[in-house]
Chains A and B, each alone.
Chain A
Amino acid sequence: MSKLLRHHLFWPLTALVVLLAANALARPGFLSIGLRDGHLVGAPVEILRTSAPLLLIALGMTLVIATRGIDLSVGAVVAVSGAVALSHIASSPDPTSPTTAFTAVGIALALCLVLGVWNGFLVSVLGIQPIIATLILMTAGRGVAMLITGGMITTVTSPPYKSLGSGFTLGLPTAAVIAFGVFALVALVVRRTALGMLLEATGINPAASRLSGVRSRTLTWTVYAASGLFAGVAGVLISADTMAADANNAGLFIELDAILAVVIGGTALSGGKFNLSGTLVGVLVIATLERTVTVLGISPLVTPLFMALVVIAVTLLQSPAMRARLTAATRRRPPAPPADGAAPALQADAPTETEVKA
């Protein structure tokens, strides 16, 4: 029992199950999935679809946080991505052709990759603190997006582009297929190669990892570039869903949601040990939470309050002080065996690091 309590996914999963149960109680048909026109429909499918952009951003954020960084600029990058893609479609002679949509996505992603590389340059080469380095783009990015759209909300009609946001592939929402596909790919690369361990090494002790031959600078640069690219994909999905590029409101506060998802998933902002499965659960918790608010008939205006309470509860339960108390209550030896065997040595070291900080 105490082993279960200490598992890093215990509280986030509990939160998710409680939320789903609350929904199912409030609306009995909530958990049912139906089949219509050859694709799946239902509230759970809808949660997967709406969580797609957040999942992509939280994925990049997890990698950045693992290297002791943070990326505040992702919301602005989402706005830039949507603005560039839709402006390209709007100005092209043939807005409805698939080629136009394809080029638009290509240009948007390339630009977002450049923005990510810029963040990485500031952090890894100039050595500026991540929070302030990305704050620059967070502040200026929406201005740039406004510059691209000319201060207006660009709307276009392009069926191929729209299908990215609200279409279906293999019976599942295309947006969800893209996001979960990218997530699975990155998880595979990070956890089945040494890359994840190297990232954790960079986050736990940049100087020591560099001295032991880890290319910390290149790794740090890469994760920011990746974060920018994923934010770009998220921006395409968001703009394809609404078919409008709103430079002011597209992806507003999504960086905060993403950071919350990462934290709920049990990755500490102090860097080092990270777990992608936790991030996935965190994203689902937030997406379900937003859904719950509408199902339970809570005014959408009070959503932030509701979210704050859940976040405070989960973070307090996960906090080192509370964990120590829980461990003391169950009277077991503190060293917990690593949950997944990815990087045993580093994970065993991580708790002592947090203890020193606390």
Chain B
Amino acid sequence: MTTTIPITPPTGSRVRLDRRYLPVVGTFVVLALMLIIGGTRYENFLTPAVISNLFINNAHLIVLAVGMTFVILTGGIDLSVGAVLALSAVVCAALFQAGWPAAVVIPVAVLAGTVIGLAHGVMIHVFGVQPFVATLAGMFFARGLCFLIAPESIAINEGSFVALAGWSAPLGGFRVTSSVLIALAIVAVGFVSLHYTRFGRTVYAIGGGEQSALLMGLPVARTKVLAYVVSGTCAGLGGLLFAMFSRSGYALTGVAMELDAIAAVVIGGTLLTGGTGFVLGSVLGVLVLGLIQTIITFEGTLSSWWTRIVIGILLLVFVVLQRVLTYRRT
């Protein structure tokens, strides 16, 4: 893929959609189709409450997917996000239990993710360990640390945190909670930094070709490490949101959640080879995954394992579609 976006020469007429947007448009079409099918099949499907819940239940996954998009765009992968999410939630709950104030606990919980992300970045860039292995070790590390801190689930009863988690406001029939607002803010920050900053352009450049980026004099080392820091921080924040959602911290939360995050990013049109993809696509990907869950709940007769089978089939369809698109281009 090209490194800077406007260089791509227009192929065909001006009205034609840019190829790069096709996967995202595909995701959007699938989302719209699912909403239409759900709306026609079930009575109370297309209601503000269902749509609000879609965002409320998946706020943490949206944040994880945003962070994951940065890493995947550089051509890497972060397998640790599920475990880091659990770590952050457990740290949060344990510190509250020890009587620390929210003003200290919340930054510490998020920073736990940042530090692990930094460690990944250093292992990957300085020591040349493959991202897959480095973040896999990070996953084991974070999960083990969770159990070391607290093997059992800890409930969170701290006043200001419960108030923050319980806050919600009506928005024209929809309901917005604090976690949804935080998640949307992260999406906005991710979008702006990826498309309108030097850092974002360098991320795309590294994914397009690390050697070329290096030869262009771009700060490859810093950007690559920073991508993992972003992902770690997002995972830490995701843990905070999950703690707000469940009002507790438990070491076994988020098992295999990294797969959901990766699936969301891929369904959202980001290539795992790096260099192509959008933050907003990943958000659509999360919504598609969430909607599958919602539809299966509405259907009632389908067992929960169908969720995984449907996600697998969707992944297959999207990957084959992407393959066809990239094949035609080259």
Query: CA separation between A263 and B134, bound complex, in Å?
Result: 11
Report the stretch among B101-109, B169-177, B227-235, B315-323 that lies at the interface.
B315-323
The count of residues in chain A whose C-beta lies closer than 8 Å to any C-beta of chain B is 50
State the Cβ distance, A100 to closest chain B Cβ, in Å. Answer: 27
Residues of A contacting B148 in the complex (Cβ-Cβ under 8 angstroms)? 301-302, 305
Chain A neighbourhood of B151, CB < 8 A: 299, 301
State the CA gap A345–B272 with chains docked (Å). 32
**In the complex the two chains form, is A304's CB within 8 Å of B123's CB?**
no
With both beta carbons as reference points, the residue of chain B lying nearest to A262 in the complex is identified as B133
In angstroms, Cα B132 to Cα A143, docked, is 25
Is B147 positioned at the interface, with any CB of A under 8 Å from its CB? yes
Across the interface, which residues of B come within 8 angstroms of A270, CB to CB? 130
CB distance from A178 to the nearest CB of B (A): 28
Q: How far is the CB of A63 from chain B (nearest CB, A)?
A: 17
Q: In the complex, what's the smallest C-beta–C-beta distance from A252 to chain B, in angstroms?
A: 9
Measured in the bound complex, the distance between the Cα atoms of B316 and A138 in whole Å is 12
A172 at the interface (CB under 8 A from B): no
Cα distance A354–B320 when bound, in Å?
30
Main secondary structure of the interface of A (DSSP, over half): helix
Partner of B263, one of A135, A151, A309: A135
Contact of B308 among A142, A301, A302 (CB under 8 A): A142
Q: In the complex, which residues of chain A have a beta carbon less than 8 angstroms from the beta carbon of B79?
A: 256
> Which of A45-53, A202-210, A318-326, A336-344 forms contacts with chain B?
A318-326
21 residue pairs from A and B, CB less than 8 Å apart = A131-B77, A135-B266, A137-B312, A138-B259, A139-B259, A139-B263, A140-B308, A140-B309, A140-B311, A142-B305, A146-B305, A302-B144, A302-B147, A302-B148, A304-B143, A304-B147, A305-B141, A308-B141, A308-B144, A312-B123, A354-B128
Q: How many angstroms between the C-alpha atoms of A29 and B308 in the bound complex?
A: 47
Q: How far is the CA of A312 from the CA of B123 in the complex (A)?
A: 9
Q: Which residue of A lies closest to B309 (CB)?
A: A143
Check A305 against B130 for contact (C-beta < 8 Å): no
B144 touches A307 (CB 8 A): yes
CB atoms of B141 and A146 under 8 A apart: no
Cα distance, A16 to B130, chains bound together (Å)? 23
A319 engages B305 (CB within 8 Å): no
- A194 at interface, CB cutoff 8 A: no
What's the minimum C-beta distance from B83 to chain A, rounded to whole angstroms?
8
Q: Which residues 139-162 of B sit at the A interface, judged by CB distance below 8 A?
A: 139-141, 143-145, 147-148, 151
CA distance A139 to B138 in the complex (A): 22
